[in-house]
Structure 1
Amino acid sequence: MNRETMLAGAVVLVVAVSVLAVAVVPGAIADTESDPVRTGHLSIQEVAIAPGPVSGGTATLQVDTRLEHTQGRSENVTVLVRAVHLESGLVETTSERAVSPISGEREVSVRQNLSVERSGGYRIETVVYRDGERIAEGRKEVRGVGTLTPEYARTSVNFHWQGQKGLPPVEYTIQDAEDNRTTLNVSTFLTNEGDVASDQLRVVFTVRQADSNIVADRSSAQVGQIAPGRTATPSVELSVPDGYNYYLDAVLWKDGVIVGTARSVANLNPTETVAANETVREVGIEVGDFDGDRRGDKDRDYETTIESGASGGVPGFGTGVAVVALGGALLLARRKS
């Protein structure tokens, strides 16, 4: 028997024994087991922070954590984010969220909201856990949270000028001048910078004496809807005493809330001037000049009579004094006779 014949017989014998073993002893030849699932690798790719709803006292920070996953599969993953105040170092608030199992190579977005006080700045810390073990962490700072506008104070309408281009945001013209009082026609410019028509607004105009901040007069003007990209020019008439310099303040109101302010000046004293953001002199203030009751016709006539009686001749001796003196002289002469 040659070598090839013997080899072929051995192969046939092995195959026969294997078939018999499978038939008689199930599981004698086990299936090859697949490799166990390997644990994936997780890392923080990016942390994005955006403003959410804002109230008068608090602001919501929307934190979007982007997790990069490679290889295998990751389970029991949680993401913890917390806001730490930059000045005090105290933890303001914390949020923790479980993440669904992740497999394959991809990015996963985990969004969480943090409600913080609407002031100062915060350090947002992000920590990733798997099976209770910290596997990744990151941090990012946000500042100027107090500048976020509350929902109730948001409007697309603003004062067109703020004085940067040399144009006053509040203008005035002399409407009338008599009896030591001047009537001003005060106006401003409101522009809708948004994409929709504005809500119902009103502007309150106040004129203040520059050195004392005494309110000389105040009035309001209703503002109808302003179309997108359009400008409205509300105006009022205000009456003030002559000879003083004034601040002209315009306050924009929306549903009972102040949403904007502007200031200009009215220099009615020809010898002194003031700027919108400073006072350059101190003067003696006649408080009586700013008495609102002096606008009545009765008081105005009284002022005119006093001024006429004190004009001309020797100071302090008017017509009334002369009449009294004449009567006294006649009475004395009658007694002597």
Structure 2
Amino acid sequence: MEKNALLAGGAVVVVVAAVATALLVPGVLADPADEGPVRPGPVDVADVSIAAGPATGETVTLAVETRIDHRGNPTNNVSVLVRAVDADSGLLTTTKRISVGNVSRDGEVTAGTNVTVPREGGYDVEVVLYRDAERVDERRKSVRGVSAIKPPYLQSTTSFTESEALPPVSFSITDAGEDRTTMNLMATLTNTGDNPAENLEVTFVLRQAESNIVASRTTVDAGAIQAGRTETVEASATVPNDYNYYIDAVLLRDGVVIDTARGAANLNPTRTISVNQTTEDVELRVEDFEDDDSGPRMTDQPEATHTESSAPGFGALAALVALVASALVARRWTK
């Protein structure tokens, strides 16, 4: 009887100790619903978009936005690596890493960053998605024509027109002299913006087509061009005759070139040039383009002279003697 009582007391002690341990030490008893460590939910790159940001004369900033798709359990330590690779050389230009952190909700999460690259050529933008330093997805997009992204000082709503009916550069003859011709130069500008364009100037440069010698240069104020309007700017230039010229028009705002256009003036009727090419070479008289106080001028050419001369000892008497000698020699041979 005592033995049974002793065993029963020991069992009670064991049960009490087990209950106390379970209460005092959490986690000793396993939860039957516990399936072990939680597996992180999948993440991948849903889309990548690139927009042009601020630009300078040398660089341009690309705004890269990455949309990350997430489903299932929370995912920790998500990050994005953005790389810009030169499309021509394949060299890495710049790298940027974005920390997204922990992603718990289902749907898309956006991660944005800016990368600055030289304002030339094109780039392949690579986006690599990481989870706990493990690469899980990547996406690539190409950007071309980065040089077309202009800094603020080059941006303008005003430019030369592009129309056959209203050419950007034209001219008319106002005075055709014996040696020199005076032309009225015209450049046509259009403001396609919503505000007036001001502080504009147009520089006309006339260059002899074959030699590239500048025969005339003049700058005129273009005034203010109202929104949506087309205006013509005029200037005068005097150049030597019998040459063909390219007429280059340069549009400037506060000393910055914002547009250019070209025309052609054929003052040599035997040869013609177009804006893109010439047909043949011509003889050039550099003195026609010499400068003085009044600009390029023509110089007088001395008339060519022809002088006849005879060698000494060959007059009429010498010719007669030679004729007689020839007759005597011929008579001798006939005998």
Q: What are the equivalent positions in structure 2 for 1:24-39 lying under 5 Å apart?
A: 39=40
Q: What residue is the counterpart of 1:147 in the other structure?
A: 148
Distance (Å, rounded) in 1 between the aligned partners of 2:101 and 2:196: 44
More helix by share: 1
**5+ residue gaps in structure 2?**
1-15, 307-335
Kept in 1: contact 2:186–2:232 (CA 8 A): yes
Using the TM superposition, give the Cα deviation of residue 73 of structure 1 relative to its aligned residue in structure 2, in angstroms: 1.6
Q: For structure 1, which segment, 175-184 or 40-49, has the greater mean C-alpha deviation from structure 2 after superposition?
A: 175-184
The Cα shift of 1:220 comes to 0.6
8 Å CA contact 1:38, 1:71 repeated in 2? no
Distance 2:31 2:45 in 1: 40
Q: Which amino acid aligns with 1:198?
A: A
Give the 3 Å change call, closer, same or farther, for CA 266–30 of structure 1 in structure 2: closer
TM-score if structure 1 supplies the norm length? 0.75
CA distance in 2, matches of 1:42, 1:99: 12
Distance, in Å, in 2 between the alignment partners of 1:274 and 1:189 is 22
Judged with a 3 Å threshold, the aligned counterparts in structure 2 of structure 1 residues 108 and 212 are, in CA distance, closer, same or farther, namely same
* 2: CA distance, partners of 1:210 / 1:94: 48
Larger strand share, 1 or 2: 2
Tell me the distance in 1 between the aligned counterparts of 2:166 and 2:139.
Answer: 48
Which residues of 2 match residues 151-300 of structure 1 at below 5 A?
151-161=152-162, 165=164, 168-293=167-292, 295=294
Runs of at least 5 residues in structure 1 that lack an aligned partner in the other structure: 1-20, 317-337
Structure 1 Cα separation of the partners of residues 193 and 72 of structure 2? 48
Equivalents in 2 of 1:191, 1:286: separation in Å?
39
Find the residue that maps to 2:48 and give its secondary structure: strand
Partner of 1:8: none
Higher mean alpha-carbon deviation, 209-218 vs 82-91, is at 82-91
Residue 137 of structure 1 is matched in structure 2 by: 138
Secondary structure in 2 aligned to 1:283?
coil
Identity %: 44
CA distance 1:30–1:74, change in 2 (3 Å): closer
Which runs of structure 2 are paired with 1:33-112 in the superposition (5 Å)? Answer: 39-112=40-113
Structure 1 residue 255: Cα displacement:
2.1
CA contact (8 A) 1:202 1:220 kept: yes
Amino acid at match of 2:260: T
Residue 110 (structure 1) shift: 1.0
How many equivalent pairs are there? 282
TM-score normalized by the length of structure 2: 0.76
Secondary structure at 2:68's aligned position in 1? strand
The RMSD of aligned alpha carbons is 3.0
CA distance in 2 between counterparts of 1:34 and 1:205 reads: 84
